[in-house]
Amino acid sequence: MTPPHEGVLVLESFLNDSWVSGAGVGAPLINPSDGNLVATASSDGLDLRAALQYGRDRGGPALRALSFSERGALLGQIADALNGRRDDWYEISRINSGNTKADAAIDVDGGIGTLKYFAKLASTLGDGRMLSDGPATRLGRDPAFVGVHLGMPVRGVAIQINAYNFPSWGLWGKAAVALLAGVPVFAKPATATAWLSQAMVKAVVDAGILPTGALSLLCGGAGDLLDHARFGDVIAFTGSAETGLKISHSPRVVSEGVRVNIEADSLNSAVLAPDGAYGTPAFDFFTSEVVKEMVAKSGQKCTAIRRVFVPAEQADAAAEAISAGLAAVKVGDPANEGVGMGPLVHMGQRKTVEEGIAALTAAGATPVSRAEAGIAGDLAKGAFVSPTLLRMNDGAESALVHDLEVFGPVATLIPYNSPAELFSLVRRGGGSLVTSVFGNDSDFLVEAAEALGDSHGRLMLIDPSVGASHGGHGIVMPMSQHGGPGRAGNGSELGALRGLWFYLQRSAVQASSATLERFGGRYVEAVN
């Protein structure tokens, strides 16, 4: 699948159940491997207030009229419609995002898999339309006076603003949960890679799966979108902490009390336990995972490993093993045979990553592995950066390594001398999405979880028994929550039924037992 030969592809938005184009030339979408223009997108002149209201007026009532199982059936149909065209999605990912087929699969299959997961989960909820978080509880002397907490769909729109690195997974991961909760979706993909989001939404629209107003898509800038948010809407954002702060503090969002979930990037860590000596299974699983995570999606994952902690006596061996793994990765245009890592999203991001590497080096980090000669591509046109391992021997003295995230194939190895020092250094990340700990002794893994759990949204504890079968440090699984405290955004999404609560208003319903019985099967108890 390639852009039209005559002219440039113009990405239309899907608003008010119609495909519309914004005014003007539009923002460019570039092939990051060769710098060629592949599409444009503009939202100029589009009536976003009307589009949001359309979702509230049409999509909301239609979804709320359906049971969980009926909504889940829609998710299953979406997954089927998308699954039949996976090769198309992989090709768009290569052209517009510079993804290898393996990287495209993470995004495309991740989105489709999440839809399938929530479709199956919905089938266990039957005809209910609301959730309860537990059984009814007696409230006083009269045993007939009881209370139950019910989650009811908010009566607004789920405004979902996604990052450039996952135009499929970001879109469908959020949309699956909102639609299952009974809330219409207004999706705003990052413009740089919006082609895949737009093409997938078009496939779903053409299949006629969803009710009118249940799904809208904005391609191009956000414009005055947030100025039209109102009470009852919710905003789910993935991206930089700086942008997330602007969204959550925008005047309209604050004045209307709009609920906001932020998933920001973070300084995630991989830890080799004190017993992870060279030659042990833990050492091998650890170094292999670091290499894999550094090059997957060219390091452009919010869950990517940024800090690599190793016992001081294992630092040289770990640096050598990771460097050897990185040296075997061919960097270049994914269209070429044998390429294992593609470019960054665009030249601007390449510049930012190179500046980040220079800043860490100036702060005392030493380059361990960076093979510029290994790039099979045109550096003048492609946004290529070699996977780069740095080493910071005194992690306690360097503030920058715990504060600066270089969003690319870059990680810094940091030796530690004791568990106490290790836990202190990991926590200096200020709140992270995920840390993985690799060890041969499960007792240390438990100790690490207790020391780090409050500063992380997810902990992956790997002993040799699951070293070859775990899901992966950077893989977001729909049955586990995704999000983290502090600089990671203080958000939480997915996590099976836990994710639905962001789109539901919990209300304490107090009534007689007889009245609650009149609810019939309208609500179902949430059991993950």
Alpha carbon separation from 362 to 141, 292, 365 (Å, rounded)? 70, 27, 7
Residue 302 annotated to the active site: yes
Kindly state the tokens that stand for 301: 């994952």
Catalytic residue chosen out of the listed positions 219, 289, 293, 302: 302
> In this predicted structure, what is the pLDDT of residue 374?
64
- Which is nearest to 164 in space by CA: 18, 383, 330, 1? 383
Catalytic residue chosen out of the listed positions 12, 219, 263, 405: 263
In this structure, which topology does domain 48-264+490-525 adopt according to CATH? Aldehyde Dehydrogenase; Chain A, domain 1 (3.40.605)
> In this predicted structure, what is the pLDDT of residue 448?
96
pLDDT tens track for 241-253: 889 999 999 999 9
Chain-centroid distance of CA 50 in Å reads 28
Kindly state the tokens that stand for 161: 């603003």
Q: Give the Cα separation of 405 and 31 in Å (integer).
A: 25
- Which is nearest to 462 in space by CA: 435, 498, 496, 429? 435
Q: Give the Cα separation of 450 and 250 in Å (integer).
A: 36
Q: What pairs with residue 432 in β-bridges?
A: 456
Architecture of the domain whose range is 268-479: 3-Layer(aba) Sandwich (3.40)
Residues whose CB is less than 8 angstroms from the CB of residue 4 and which lie 6 or more positions away in sequence, other chains included: none
- Which is nearest to 413 in space by CA: 367, 357, 444? 367
Q: What pairs with residue 506 in β-bridges?
A: 151
pLDDT along the chain (528 residues), means of 10: 59 96 93 95 96 97 96 97 96 96 96 97 91 90 91 96 95 97 97 97 97 97 94 95 91 95 93 95 96 95 96 96 92 91 95 96 88 69 94 86 94 96 95 95 94 96 92 92 93 93 94 89 81
φ and ψ at residue 349, rounded to 5 degrees: -70, -35
pTM for this entry: 0.93
Given a contact cutoff of 8 angstroms between Cβ atoms, the answer to whether 478 and 453 are in contact is no
* β-pair type (9-11, 37-41): parallel
Query: Domain coordinates of the chain in residue numbers?
Result: 48-264+490-525, 268-479
